[in-house]
Structure 1
């Protein structure tokens, strides 16, 4: 058995679930990181505002050098308590400065008041700095007060958060992949069971069907479709077996006759006249064999999709009349007559249509009692034309009607007269010719009349330009 080299469904589903999980983790992680990043960014500013609000009243209350010395001591204590915090005071009077501001700090202090980042050479991380402008008070000149906080801890917290989110996302994706593969394997167990059931079905054991009970709707729909396909295959297989048996039977009869007559003729010396009769009888059997083989080859060609291409716009009534002339001696021997009504124009391949008409009329003649009438009706529809051949006879059971155009199919009880060279392929050839023209066949049985016919596309229906 040839095994598929494609990717298993379980792995495909697992990969899809993994991609979905990855997308979800990325979206949630990104949203969480941005939210926490904004929150962490607000913490330094909040802490600087809180510290400045504590110092602001003191800075704006005293303006003498004595009090300023106390303020310096307080700033020293605050800086020692929290090494992250740094203070600078920039003034035109060096006596009122603090923190030994260098050129970079002085340049920063010239900017507008507010919260900004200050990058110092001795720190790899920027300082978040709150710049305030204090007006002159007493002996104190106007001041620029800067309070800054080192953001290293906040950057490290952001980095740790990013690593945690990425690690959790990777772990979550791996877990989702494993769990999705496990879930997919469990979900596909019914499909594997159906596959095992299907593998057990093989000719000639085609009577079994897939069980559809307790299946999911999707699998039940698949099982129903598979069972319907099995029904069609089983019917086709049965018909093929019957066809092979019929072919063997049809070929065996003339071959048996040929062999038997030849063996009898060779048992002892015969006259020339006797040998002539044997050869003539053998010729008839050979003609019958040739007819069967030609019909089977024609049907095989039709099965391969051969279409009628040499189409000619013609009168169907004229084609029926030509066919009746050809069958005149058969009708005379059978002592039946034929009436024709209606006419229509249609694009046809004349030789093929005449062959179909011969088979339809032969079929009617074989099942019509002497001194009765066969009716041929030609009717025109919107996009097609039809030729119906009706003969009086016993009714055909409804169950047999769809099968009458199958190869070698006979209803012995209703249509027992199957001799005279008829080998069960005539109506099958009619159907093949109809399909080659893009048409179809039909059969009806009612009120003591059996009707077999053929439908063909009209010139309008086919878009044929004569």
Structure 2
């Protein structure tokens, strides 16, 4: 099955049309059955009413006026006039006295079934009759007689069949009409969806800023369009971030690679002494180390993006781990002319190596941006179901629109990328990744020359 056929099979319009048709079929079936039962009851009532009326008329005529053979002869003539030539109505009078008989009895092989209340259905070669019978008492010379009035049911059966056929035709026609109307209504109702599809088809990476118009839409589609436009906005942001990330990666790798290539070309341009070659190799080694650091950090972030969680969790004092990392940075702290103060403590389960990497990045960032003779403060406190670690330094304030982006990869507040030789812009992104690996979050604030950056670790977090 090709894609077009698959789409057609699962068409909403077709489903709605089928549902309309099934609903119409159900309604028409119930209605048709009710009408069928009603017409059967009414036809039978009319049949019984006519038989009863004719029986009572003849019975009254015999009881009141017929009490001898002479008058019976007059009755025979009268009844002959009343009976139609087509045999749709028959009158039968049976008696022990042959002089007081009327009509031709039914054949002995006729099939007789009782319908109740003295009514019988008699099926003969000439047709089907509904009959009503009753005995009339003797009067004068007339003995007791047994009167039977028969009504040909064929006409009523034909009428019933005609009505049933009309109901079936109306049923089929109604289902077809409702299905057609259902298809038209569905297509009209889904016109807005088709319009959305046409707008969506025009979307491409070349016009990521375009959105699906939300005006003049049915209420049911408002939330869908808003959600879709929200998804488009997130895709645009991700696409822009990816483009920026690629540009940043190219920039970060281009500088050391350019240095390596340039220095190597200069060295190869003429003969060099061993001292000169050694100096160049040492410089190249520094650039290679920088490349390796960038690549390792990018690989770490890629693993974090795949949802890897912190392992090797140990119950540890956070203050002691911060102190270990600070001792590693003693020389940098001394060169920057700043001091370090650790406030508070909390025990929680952490991966020591990952935590050390995160706090080292925060301390290194604070050292780079601190004023001389200022104090870097590391504040540790236990919040609700988490431990928060905040590193604060005195220096230039960070504008509010930069704070939300500090943890993006390769993002720098200084657009000129100053001091890029010492930092490649992945430090805070790694802090964010490590916080997430411990089930925590990151935060940043800057006010009146004090910038605070930190992260949380979920208390008793278990990977």
Q: Please indicate, yes or no, whether the TM-score normalized by the shorter chain is above 0.5.
A: yes
Shift of 1:291: 0.6
For 1:431, the equivalent position in structure 2 comes to: 432
SS in 2 for 1:313: strand
Q: Confirm or deny that 1:191 pairs with 2:229.
A: no
The TM-score normalised by the length of structure 2 is 0.92
Shift of 1:420: 5.0
Q: Confirm or deny that 1:177 pairs with 2:189.
A: no
For 1:73, the equivalent position in structure 2 comes to: 77
Q: Confirm or deny that 1:116 pairs with 2:110.
A: no
Q: Confirm or deny that 1:242 pairs with 2:224.
A: no
For 1:329, the equivalent position in structure 2 comes to: 331
Q: 1:416 to 1:318 in 2, by over 3 A?
A: same
Q: Confirm or deny that 1:421 pairs with 2:422.
A: yes
For 2:291, the equivalent position in structure 1 comes to: 289
Shift of 1:108: 6.7
Shift of 1:47: 1.0
For 1:446, the equivalent position in structure 2 comes to: 447
Q: In the alignment, is the contact (CA less than 8 A) between 2:304 and 2:433 conserved in 1?
A: yes
Where in structure 2 are the equivalents of 1:84-95 lying within 5 Å? 84-95=88-99
- 1:166-201 deviations in Å (ceiling 9; x for gaps): 112212222222333233333333322222221111
2:213 to 211, 214, 225: 211
Q: Confirm or deny that 1:99 pairs with 2:100.
A: no
For 1:21, the equivalent position in structure 2 comes to: 24
Hey, what's the Cα distance between the residues in 2 that align with 1:4 and 1:292? Answer: 50
Shift of 1:19: 2.0
Hey, what's the Cα distance between the residues in 1 that align with 2:111 and 2:127? Answer: 20
Q: 1:51 to 1:423 in 2, by over 3 A?
A: same
Shift of 1:424: 0.7
Q: 1:83 to 1:340 in 2, by over 3 A?
A: same
2:14 to 11, 14, 23: 11
- 1:118-170 deviations in Å (ceiling 9; x for gaps): 23232554x22222232232333333322121111111111111111111221
For 1:39, the equivalent position in structure 2 comes to: 42
Shift of 1:105: 9.7
Hey, what's the Cα distance between the residues in 2 that align with 1:144 and 1:57? Answer: 13
1:396 to 395, 398, 404: 398
Where in structure 2 are the equivalents of 1:332-343 lying within 5 Å? 332-343=334-345
The number of residue pairs the alignment matches comes to 459
Shift of 1:358: 1.1
Shift of 1:20: 2.2
Hey, what's the Cα distance between the residues in 1 that align with 2:185 and 2:115? Answer: 62
Q: In the alignment, is the contact (CA less than 8 A) between 1:344 and 1:379 conserved in 2?
A: yes
How well do the aligned residues superpose, as a CA RMSD in angstroms? 2.6
Hey, what's the Cα distance between the residues in 2 that align with 1:372 and 1:418? Answer: 21
Hey, what's the Cα distance between the residues in 2 that align with 1:276 and 1:354? Answer: 34
Shift of 1:289: 0.4
- 1:249-276 deviations in Å (ceiling 9; x for gaps): 0000000011111111111111111111
Q: 1:107 to 1:121 in 2, by over 3 A?
A: closer
For 2:387, the equivalent position in structure 1 comes to: 385
Structure 1 stretch displaced more, 337-346 or 176-185: 176-185
SS in 1 for 2:390: strand
Q: In the alignment, is the contact (CA less than 8 A) between 1:366 and 1:417 conserved in 2?
A: no
Q: In the alignment, is the contact (CA less than 8 A) between 2:112 and 2:120 conserved in 1?
A: no
Shift of 1:25: 2.2
The TM-score normalised by the length of structure 1 is 0.91
For 2:360, the equivalent position in structure 1 comes to: 358
Hey, what's the Cα distance between the residues in 2 that align with 1:112 and 1:450? Answer: 102
Hey, what's the Cα distance between the residues in 1 that align with 2:429 and 2:365? Answer: 12
Shift of 1:28: 2.3
Q: In the alignment, is the contact (CA less than 8 A) between 2:120 and 2:130 conserved in 1?
A: yes
SS in 1 for 2:123: coil
Q: Confirm or deny that 1:131 pairs with 2:133.
A: yes
Q: 1:393 to 1:134 in 2, by over 3 A?
A: farther
Structure 1 stretch displaced more, 128-137 or 379-388: 128-137
Q: In the alignment, is the contact (CA less than 8 A) between 2:336 and 2:367 conserved in 1?
A: yes
For 1:349, the equivalent position in structure 2 comes to: 351
Hey, what's the Cα distance between the residues in 1 that align with 2:252 and 2:126? Answer: 105
Q: In the alignment, is the contact (CA less than 8 A) between 2:112 and 2:122 conserved in 1?
A: no
Q: 1:114 to 1:446 in 2, by over 3 A?
A: same
Hey, what's the Cα distance between the residues in 2 that align with 1:421 and 1:164? Answer: 92
Q: 1:304 to 1:106 in 2, by over 3 A?
A: closer
Q: In the alignment, is the contact (CA less than 8 A) between 1:72 and 1:98 conserved in 2?
A: yes
